[in-house]
Chain A
Amino acid sequence: MKLVKLLLPLITLTLSALSVQAQHLSDTSLVAKGAKVYGENCARCHNARPAEEYSKKEWSVVIPHMRAKAHMTGKEALAVEAFLASTLTADVRNISSHESAGVPKRTGAELVTQFGCQGCHQLKGEGGTLGPVLDDVISDKGEAFVLQKIIDPKFNNAASAMPKYPMSKEDIAAIIEFLKQ
């Protein structure tokens, strides 16, 4: 009992040192982190589920449920929400996104970062392992395959967890050019 009493303050101090600061959902760095947390945690128990299975509002209710199931921290759960939200447009199915206009042109590298591709894929030695390595994906699979995969991630694998991103044609072309390098 004495040992327990002695350890309690030590445990408390240690734990309090682990406290984190609140982070705003609009922080773009959350998306990349969220993709990483998504890739690392979902598959611990089951296939990662594509973002389009729920709406943004539904995800905001589902994620706290999964936070408890997977022992995610609040910060990690918020990052996953940010990642999922980044892949969804208002209509969820992202049908109209390929024709989007008026968005400042972004480089392939910026887009890969913005959409958190390395949360699931390795690129230049960094990234997750949920999806295949992207370094040689153009030469191995062909440009047409990668183009189709980004437009319709399930075209070759119905069980693919890859989100259907709200990208314009220019975005997709920029990413493919980046992956060729």
Chain B
Amino acid sequence: MKQVPLYSAVAAALLMSTMTTANAQENSTLDIGRLALAGYGDVTYIAQSNMKDEDGNAIQNNVVARFIPIFLFQLSEKIHIEAEIEFSTNSEGETETELEYANMHYFFNDNTIITAGKFLLPFGQFGANLHPSWINKAASNPGLYGGHGGNGSLGGITSIMGDTGINIANTWTLGDAGRIFTDFYTVSGPRQEAGDHGGGVDMEVKKGDNNDSMAFGGRVAYAFLPEWEIGLSYYSGDYSDDGDLNYSAYNIDFNWIGSYASVRGEIFGSTAETEGETEAEVEGEHGEEWVKDFDKNGWYIQGTWQARQLGKAWLNPIELVVRYSDIESDFDGSIGHDFEEDAGKMGSRIYYGINYWLEPSAVLKLGAESTSIDNEGAGHGGIIDDRVFLQLAFGF
């Protein structure tokens, strides 16, 4: 029954598409191209002299380089194909490749876009639009996305980034400045990791599905252009092999963009059902089965300011950034439990940075970040995790 609203929304979007008649690009006199190459890349030096791994060994300062081309192909004025591939080097010196997305847009009419394939899920703003390094104002990721890119002790608590399925996007124009953006999608969804208590939730995109249940979700946002946008996202999917355990998440994102400053942030919460059984009173018998919630919550807020507001030519390329992130997770309402890895943590991260813009899409970032895990006993707890970044990021 949870999927009824989604199916209804999809049906409404399709009905709308058949009723609307606009085809704005017909008879265009623009020089129509077929192929374009875009993308981004970065090279990052990370100094993390105090950071140690779980065995107490020092983690060396390192330099990381990535190249992420986006292949764009216009099959017709109605059909557009895009694929993004990330090339990077791992610690063994091997080249790693990852298909970030590969999909087809069908521009059904003026307001409606149907996307099929592997795509970045419209869940919040950072994962879908803001994570490319030349767009991300900081050299690292917000705490709740910490795991994406490997930022040490503060494991990310959301990994709702991309999946394979279909999305229907609509834009509703409300006057000169008002817009409502909607996305509704259904995708393969999460999987179950091996382990006790139902295992963890594996969000990595893989071929096929481990159960007969598709995940679904969407984002509804209101924008008052050019300054404001606020969005509400929801995601739900059964992740266990038998389809009995559910993972659901919500996200509230907001943007304020001024002439010289910006403030943006996200609030995130997720619940993963976990299962187990109590210890049997009589040896050899089964205990009582239980299903309990494993919750993860977090938020971040980021502010930027462009020094060109001061009117000094030499300050024009300079931008200041500050970002604070906070996460916590608990099992059945309690921080204290014996789950490992990222369970049972309370942590925060603060980032200060200064950016020097070389071009509108090329930036040199110098940043300092400090992460703290607040509850003792959790993995990495008590380890000082301070680092300094120097990153050159570019979009092309």
Contacts and interface: CB of A to CB of B under 8 A. Distances in A.
A19 B19 contact: yes
A156 B29 CA distance: 35
- Chain B interface extent, by class: 35 or more
B33 A57 contact: yes
Given A24-B27, A156-B313, A39 B226 contact: yes
A11 B31 contact: no
B134 A46 contact: yes
Contact of B316 (A41, A43, A156): A156
A58 interface: yes
Contacts of B125: 45
A34 to B, nearest CB: 11
A161 B28 contact: no
B8 A4 contact: yes
A85 B36 CA distance: 16
B113 interface: yes
A29 B111 CA distance: 21
Interface string A55-73: 1111111101101110111
A57 B32 contact: yes
Interface string B11-43: 110011001111111111111111110100000
Contacts of A158: 316-317, 357-359
A20 B134 contact: no
Interface in B311-326: 313, 316-317
B360 A47 contact: yes
Interface string A68-86: 1101111101100110010
Contacts of B11: 8
B110 A4 contact: no
B110 A20 contact: yes
A35 interface: no
B80 interface: yes
Contacts of A157: 308, 313, 316-317
Contact of B21 (A19, A43, A78, A160): A19
Contact of B111 (A22, A44, A62, A73): A73
A20 B360 CA distance: 33
Contacts of B134: 46
Contact of B27 (A18, A22, A160): A22
B146 interface: no
Contacts of B15: 8, 11-12, 15
Nearest to B120: A69
A40 B169 CA distance: 20
Interface in B92-121: 105, 107, 109-111, 113, 115
Given A25-B28, A25-B30, A161 B16 contact: no
A161 B23 CA distance: 30
Nearest to B122: A71
Interface in B141-177: 169-173, 177
B4 A1 contact: yes
A155 to B, nearest CB: 9
A53 B361 contact: yes
Nearest to A160: B360
A54 B33 CA distance: 11
A139 interface: no
Given A8-B11, A19-B111, A49-B395, 9 more contacts: A4-B8, A12-B15, A43-B257, A45-B125, A61-B80, A62-B36, A78-B28, A159-B316, A160-B360
Closest 9 CB pairs of A and B: A57-B33, A159-B357, A16-B19, A15-B16, A74-B24, A61-B36, A40-B226, A19-B20, A157-B316
